[in-house]
Amino acid sequence: MKTCSSPILPLPRASARRTATSALVGLMLAAAAGCNTNQNAVNTVEPSNPAYASRSIPDKRVVSDYATAHAVHILKVVEGSSETGLARVGVEVQNQSLSVFRFNYRFDWFDAQGLPVSSPASTMISQTLEAGQPFTLTSIAPTPGAKDFRLSIQKSTRGFFPLLRKN
């Protein structure tokens, strides 16, 4: 745990004292804000020898937004099948930034020839991760013919636009 302290300095007289007091208060506020960067960080506990046997697969990444790639860091990609035999994928990510990060993601599925498989579920899904929080993004193929997938991740713009009031 990070602790912060600030030394107490003797103050000069009259108007210089007011200026020094204002500067000291400003420094203390800045120091306090700097000490609180992991306010909502997430700690996790999991078995050291999990009962499941995951099958990690190699992946190819195309990064065009490095800030988002850092905040939503991909730890591993796991594939399998559902109870009904459909292809299933899980992408384990972790927020490696020091603050909450909101993003959108979408899985697109492709058939054996590389053509897109239409699916009503191919829309962006919003997700919020606290600092340090791991999370697994999952998807199940929409049809038995869907063999491959692509995951798209983008920073959410929801926080940048004002919310309209309901009348």
Domains and CATH numbers, the chain: 66-157 (2.60.40.3230)
pLDDT mean for each 10 residues of the chain (167 residues): 44 49 46 48 65 67 84 92 93 94 93 88 86 94 93 81 54
Give the C-alpha separation, 16 to 73, whole Å: 49
Q: Provide the residue type at 52 as one letter.
A: Y
In angstroms, the CA 28 to CA 26 distance is 5
- Residue 20, classed as helix, strand or coil, is helix
Where does the chain show beta strands of DSSP type E? 73-81, 87-94, 101-110, 125-129, 134-140, 148-155
Q: Yes or no: say if 138 and 88 are a contact pair by the CB < 8 Å rule.
A: yes
What are 89-122's pLDDT values in tens digits?
999 999 999 999 999 999 999 999 999 998 776 7
Q: Any idea which residue has 């191919």 for tokens?
A: 122
Angle subtended at Cα 144 by Cα 142 and Cα 63, rounded to the nearest 5 degrees: 55
Q: Residues 6 or more apart from 152 whose CB is under 8 A from it?
A: 105, 106, 108, 124
What pTM value is reported for the model? Answer: 0.64
